[in-house]
Amino acid sequence: MVKTVKSAISMVCPQCRVRCHAHGKNRNGLRRFLCPDCKKTLTEPHRLTLGEMYVSEEKAIMVVKLLVEGNSIRSIQRITGVDQNTIMRILVLAGDRCEKLMGRLIVNVPVKDVEADEIWGYVGKKEGHKMPREANNLTIGDQYCFVAIERHTKLVLNFALGRRDTATTQVFIEGLRAATSNQSFQITTDGFKPYVPAICDTLGDRVSFAQLIKVYRNDPDSEHRYSPGEVVDTEVVPIMGDPDTSRACTSIVERQNLTIRMQMRRLTRLTNAFSKKWENLWAAYCLHFAYYNFCRVHRSLRVTPGMEAGITDHIWEIKELLA
């Protein structure tokens, strides 16, 4: 077993200008020094992880790796020995950096076919379990993540988290406008009605728009099971422009929904790993999509979606994602 020995270091008291003596370590393993004159205690030079945390960079990266691979908070605590509150703090800080990264890099991206869909989740409790005093609290209960993905590059262009309503849809489509270039493209959504005014008003100058509406079999047993009913037919409804019906598809974004549920523990069905705070769920989404775009090699592309779209030129490491 190889023993790691830290290099010798000495510090000079900024007030007395004399050499300090070694004075043990603090709780994070950083060496401390004591001034023989003023008795002031100093800590060796160090850099805060993610700008705010004393946990080592290696442990923080390991925590993020386990998060993006679908581990729960408590399983990460058992594996790494990092406290669960520290893990949650790492998630929030990493999510904030990933949100800013996506906003900076995914701008004016040329696209050809865009698919949009929503995935259900909840914060704290399901909508039907809310108390009367919580009825107007929009950060508790059902939360839908709107996702837009480019069909050919598999790049997630934009996402928004909120209620499945007109307001969230409008915010989502406005973000999609900023993410895409002004060249014309085709967009396909499901039959959710608020998409129609949002896309027509915000993207009317650049898109051909069609909705793919699924017809389900009328099965009374479907009310008592978790899986959706059987799809017996699909109908492509042109909404605006001149959409190519053969290209109207939502299969890629629906496959992305499966990836989210497999890679995000708090969205795994029939478990108690749901989010207790809206901010934590948002941070988890930001981390997932940034990792998916820049770090995770897509099996069919053999590169990351960011590389396929020409945004990056190599597969990113977690360290680069959080830099």
Q: What is the CATH number of the domain that holds 168?
A: 3.30.420
pLDDT of residue 187: 97
* Distance (Å) of CA 137 to CA 90, 119, 120, 160, 273: 26, 20, 18, 18, 21
Kindly state whether residues 178 and 270 are assigned to the same domain. yes
- Tell me the two tokens of residue 164: 């499945």
Q: Which long-range contacts (CB under 8 A, 24 or more apart) does 309-313 make?
A: 309/109, 309/150, 309/153, 309/155, 311/105, 311/106, 311/109, 311/155, 312/105
DSSP 109: B
The pLDDT value given to residue 223: 54
Structure tokens at 287: 């981390």
Mode of pairing for the β-strands spanning 113-123 and 185-189: parallel
Domain shared by 160 and 239, yes or no: yes
**Same-domain status, 136 and 223:** yes
308 occurs within a structural domain? no
Is the pTM of the predicted complex or chain greater than 0.75? yes
Residues 58 and 95: beta-carbon distance below 8 Å: no
Examine the domain organization and report whether 15 and 127 are in the same domain: no
Q: What is the total count of domains within the chain?
A: 2
CB atoms within 10 A of CB 70: 17
User: Would you put residue 99 in left (φ > 0), alpha (ψ -120 to 50) or beta?
Assistant: alpha
Same domain, 118 and 265: yes
In a domain, 39, yes or no: yes
Q: Do 34 and 122 have their domain in common?
A: no
For 142, phi then psi, to 5°, come to -60, 135
165 lies in a domain?
Answer: yes
C-alpha distances in Å from residue 107, one per residue of 100, 143, 280: 12, 26, 25
The predicted pLDDT at position 256 comes to 95
Examine the domain organization and report whether 148 and 258 are in the same domain.
yes
Asked, for residue 315, whether it belongs to a domain, the answer is no
Residue 212: its pLDDT value, please? 93
For 14, the domain range is 7-46
Residues 134 and 257 in one domain: yes
Residue 93: left (phi > 0), alpha (psi -120 to 50), or beta?
alpha
- Whether 252 is in a domain gets the answer yes
DSSP states of 1-35: -PPP-PPP---B-TTT--BPEEEEE-TTS-EEEE-
Same domain, residue pair 129 and 15? no
Instruction: Give the other-Cβ count within 10 Å of 280's Cβ.
Output: 17
Stretches in the chain below the pLDDT threshold 50: 1-5
* Separation between Cα atoms, residue 166 and residue 200, nearest integer Å: 13
pLDDT at 234: 82
Let me know the angle formed at the C-alpha of 255 by 300 and 284, rounded to the nearest 5 degrees.
105
In a domain, 193, yes or no: yes
pLDDT of the residue at 179: 97
95 is a domain residue: no
Pair (36, 178) in one structural domain: no
Same domain, 117 and 23: no
Same domain assignment for residues 163 and 16: no
Query: At 33, which CATH number?
Result: 2.20.25
Tell me if 81 is assigned to some domain.
no
